[in-house]
Chain A
Amino acid sequence: MTETKMIKAKINDIPVEVPAGTTILDAARKIHVNIPTLCKHPDLNATAGCGICIVKVKGSNKLLRSCCTDISEGMEVTTHDSEIIQVRKTVLELILSNHPDDCLHCGRNTNCELQNLAAHFVIRGVPFHTYKNSLPKDFSTGNIVLVPNKCILCGRCVDVCQNIQNVWALNFVGRGISTRIAPAGDILLADSPCVRCGQCAAHCPTGAIVEYDNTYDVWHALHDKDKYCIVQIAPAVRVAIGEAFGYEPGELLTNKLYAVLKKLGFKTVFDTNFSADVTIIEEATEFVSRFTTGGTLPLITSCCPSWVDFMEKYQIDMIDHFSTCKSPQQMMGALTKTYFAEKEGIDPKKIFMVSIMPCTAKKYEISRTKDMSASGIQDTDAVLTTRELSRMIKQSGIDFKNLPGDDPDHIMGDYSGAGTIFAATGGVMEAAIRTAYHYVTGENLKDVNVEAVRGLKGVKEGVIDIKGTKVKVAVAHGLGNVEYVLNKVKEAKLKGEEPPYHFIEVMACPGGCVGGGGQPYGVTDYLRTERAAGIYKDDVDQEIRCSHDNPMIKKLYQEYLGEPGSKKAHHLLHTHYEPKPVYIK
Chain B
Amino acid sequence: MKEQSNTSFTLSPAVLEYIDKWKDKPGNLIMTLHKVQEEYGYVPRSAALQLTELLDIPLAKIYGVLTFYHLFKLKKPGKYLIQVCIGTACYLNGGEDILQELEHILGIGVNQTTPDELFSIEAVRCIGCCGLSPVMNINGEIFGKLKKEDLAKIIAQYTK
**Pair from one complex:** yes
A residues engaging B (CB < 8 A)? 162, 166, 168-175, 183-185, 192-193, 313-316, 483, 579, 581-584
Asked whether A172 lies within 8 Å of B64 as measured between CB atoms, the reply is yes
Chain B hits for A173, CB < 8 A: 63-64, 67
Closest 10 A-B residue pairs measured CB to CB?
A168-B58, A171-B64, A184-B59, A171-B60, A184-B63, A184-B60, A583-B5, A185-B63, A168-B60, A581-B4
- Residue of A174, A184, A315, A581 near B68 (CB, 8 A) is A174
A192 CB contacts on chain B under 8 angstroms:
60
Bound-state CA distance A544–B24 (Å) is 56
Report Cα–Cα, A359/B70, bound state, in Å: 39
The 8 A CB mask of B104-140 against A (1 = contact, 0 = none) is 0000000000000000000000000000000000000
Q: List 24 A-B contacts (CB under 8 A).
A: A162-B60, A168-B60, A169-B60, A170-B60, A171-B60, A172-B68, A173-B63, A174-B67, A174-B68, A175-B70, A184-B60, A184-B63, A185-B63, A313-B3, A313-B4, A314-B3, A483-B1, A581-B5, A581-B6, A582-B5, A583-B5, A583-B49, A583-B52, A584-B6
* Docked CA distance A245–B91 (Å): 61
Q: Does B62 contact A (CB under 8 A)?
A: yes
B115 CB, nearest partner CB in chain A, Å: 24
A-B contact count (CB 8 A): 68
Minimum CB–CB distance from B54 to chain A (whole Å) comes to 15
Once the chains bind, are A582 and B63 in contact (CB under 8 Å)?
no
Q: Which residues of B line the A interface, CB within 8 A?
A: 1-6, 45, 48-49, 52, 58-64, 66-70, 74
Q: A175–B66 Cα gap in the complex (Å)?
A: 10
**Are A185 and B5 within 8 A (Cβ)?**
no
Whole-angstrom CA separation of A582 from B69 in the bound complex: 25
Shortest C-beta distance, B125 to chain A (Å), equals 13
Chain A binding surface SS class: loop
Which residues of chain A are within 8 angstroms of B61 by Cβ–Cβ distance?
Answer: 162, 168, 171
If over half of B's interface residues share one DSSP class (helix, strand or loop), that class is named, otherwise mixed; here it is helix
How near does chain B come to A458, taking the closest CB pair, in angstroms?
17
- Give which listed residue, A175, A185, A313, A314, contacts B74 with CB less than 8 A: A185
Partner of B4, one of A166, A175, A582: A582
Complex: A193 Cα to B61 Cα, angstroms: 13
Q: A173-B64, A185-B45, A193-B58 are in contact. List 9 more A-B contacts (CB 8 A).
A: A168-B61, A169-B60, A171-B60, A184-B63, A185-B63, A193-B60, A313-B4, A314-B2, A584-B6
A166 to B2, CA, bound (A): 11
| Docked complex Cα distance between A170 and B48 (Å) | 16
Chain A residues, Cβ within 8 Å of B74: 185
Q: Are A584 and B67 in contact (CB under 8 A)?
A: no
Residues in A neighbouring B49, C-beta threshold 8 A: 583
B143 to chain A, nearest CB (A): 29
| Alpha-carbon distance A370/B29, docked complex (angstroms) | 41
Residue of B nearest to A316 (CB): B4
CB-defined contacts of B66 to chain A, threshold 8 Å: 185
Closest chain-B Cβ to A66's Cβ sits at a distance in Å of: 27
Q: Is the CB of A166 within 8 A of B59?
A: no
Return chain B residues, CB-CB under 8 Å to A169: 60
Q: Quick one: closest B residue to A483, CB to CB?
A: B1
Bound CA span A314–B4, Å? 8
Residues of B within 8 A of A168 (CB): 3, 58-61
Q: Measured between alpha carbons, how far is A582 from B49 in the docked complex, in Å? A: 10
Q: Closest chain B residue to A580 by CB distance? A: B4
The interface residues of chain A lying within 8 Å CB-to-CB of B6 are 581, 584
Do A583 and B64 form a contact, CB below 8 Å, given A185-B48, A185-B74? Answer: no
